[in-house]
């Protein structure tokens, strides 16, 4: 029997915990069971008390004090400790039935998603190929205010892509805090961001992101590299990055407004699809009245 879960991830302050709260609220409204796991050893503000909390295993504050580590080193130590004590997770998660959606609220340190192999190791343990056999997807949040600055947006998109490659999980990318850009960006403009259109960088509305011509950065051409390094042609670098995103054609974003129940419901249906939640639920036993009606209709 498989279990179902979503890893909520993204940069610091992207709105992960707020999204978890909205998701739990929505699941309660539609009468679905969920199990909320906090994996951020530094977190202290929750809309719902976590059912399982890494801080009951290890706290970042204690680690920083006892090991004389900074917040990032401390976080890595906490994750290494979790990986040495995985029964902390399995004891709580093993008994859950397949009706539950297990929500993992992750820390915001971007290094965890981009180049430290700790999360992939945790995923191996949690996922279908591991002992906990959870059908998992990642929900990667990026703040919608990034769309106001294209360079920031593409940098964020690259971090989402890097996480996708590193995690090797079905991914649902989400533009969070949509309420903050309402009125600033119109729907047509927004659509280009939602599908991460590389041509955005062709639009000459800011000096910073301006792209001239069809030149493509050739990293094997010393003149091109010199040009970029000397600051003469950031345009070429921008375009190379944008093309890379386009070539993968796997980044698109869903829009999240936590105050709008439909928006949260839409995102839940994408998550359900990614983890194939509904396919695994027991078909409802037909009631006697259903059978009676069917016979009557056939007559």
Q: Which stretches of the chain bind ligand GTP, using CB under 6 A?
A: 12-18, 40, 43, 108, 176-177, 179-180, 258
Q: Which is nearer to ligand GTP, 13 or 286 (CB)?
A: 13
Partners of 135 in beta bridges:
4
Q: Which is nearer to ligand GTP, 5 or 15 (CB)?
A: 15
Residue closest to 239 by CA, chosen among 211, 197, 207, 220:
211
Q: Which is nearer to ligand GTP, 55 or 236 (CB)?
A: 55
Task: Quote the CA–CA distance of 199 and 248 in Å, as a whole number.
Answer: 15
Q: What are the phi and psi torsion angles at 142 (to 5°)?
A: -130, 135
Q: Which is nearer to ligand GTP, 18 or 133 (CB)?
A: 18
Task: Quote the CA–CA distance of 43 and 50 in Å, as a whole number.
Answer: 11
What is the chain's percent helix, strand, coil content, to nearest 5?
A: 50, 15, 35
Q: Which is nearer to ligand GTP, 205 or 262 (CB)?
A: 262
- Closest CB 161 distance from ligand GTP, rounded Å: 19
- Closest CB 20 distance from ligand GTP, rounded Å: 8
Task: Quote the CA–CA distance of 127 and 138 in Å, as a whole number.
Answer: 11
- Closest CB 218 distance from ligand GTP, rounded Å: 38
Shortest Cβ contact with ligand GTP: which residue?
A: 108
Measured in Å, how far apart are the chain's first and last C-alpha atoms? 40
- Closest CB 24 distance from ligand GTP, rounded Å: 13
- Closest CB 89 distance from ligand GTP, rounded Å: 19
- Closest CB 114 distance from ligand GTP, rounded Å: 15
Q: Which is nearer to ligand GTP, 20 or 101 (CB)?
A: 20
Q: Which is nearer to ligand GTP, 1 or 12 (CB)?
A: 12
CA of 62: how far to CAs of 46, 75, 86, 119, 283, in Å? 20, 11, 20, 22, 48
- Closest CB 55 distance from ligand GTP, rounded Å: 13
Classify each residue of 107-128 as buried b or exposed e, where b means 16 or more C-beta atoms within 10 Å of its C-beta. bbbbebbbebebbeebbebbbe
By residue count, the chain amounts to: 299
């Amino acid at each position: 029997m498989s279990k179902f879960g979503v890893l909520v991830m993204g940069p610091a302050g992207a709105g992960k915990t707020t999204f978890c709260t909205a998701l739990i609220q929505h699941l309660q409204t539609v009468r679905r069971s969920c199990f909320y796991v906090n994996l951020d050893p530094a977190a202290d503000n929750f809309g719902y008390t976590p059912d399982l909390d890494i801080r009951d295993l290890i706290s970042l504050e204690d680690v920083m004090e006892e090991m004389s580590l900074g917040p990032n080193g401390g976080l890595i130590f906490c994750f290494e400790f979790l990986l040495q004590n995985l029964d902390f997770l399995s004891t709580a998660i093993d008994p859950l039935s397949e009706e539950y959606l297990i929500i993992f609220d992750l820390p915001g340190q971007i290094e965890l998603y981009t180049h430290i192999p700790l999360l992939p190791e945790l995923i191996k343990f949690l996922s279908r190929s591991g002992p906990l056999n959870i059908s998992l997807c990642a929900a990667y949040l990026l703040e919608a205010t990034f769309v106001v600055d294209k360079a920031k947006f593409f940098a964020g998109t690259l971090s989402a892509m890097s996480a996708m490659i590193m995690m090797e999980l079905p991914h649902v990318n989400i533009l969070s805090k949509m309420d903050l850009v309402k009125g600033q960006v119109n729907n047509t403009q927004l659509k280009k961001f939602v599908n991460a259109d590389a041509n955005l960088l062709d639009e000459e509305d800011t000096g910073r992101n301006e792209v001239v011509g069809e030149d493509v950065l050739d990293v094997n051409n010393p003149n091109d590299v010199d040009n970029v390094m000397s600051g003469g042609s950031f345009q070429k670098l921008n375009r190379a990055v944008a093309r890379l995103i386009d070539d993968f054609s796997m980044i698109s974003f869903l829009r999240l407004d936590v105050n709008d129940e439909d928006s949260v419901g839409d995102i839940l249906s994408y998550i359900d699809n990614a983890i194939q939640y509904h396919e695994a639920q027991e078909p409802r036993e037909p009631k006697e009245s259903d059978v009676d009606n069917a016979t009557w209709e056939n007559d």
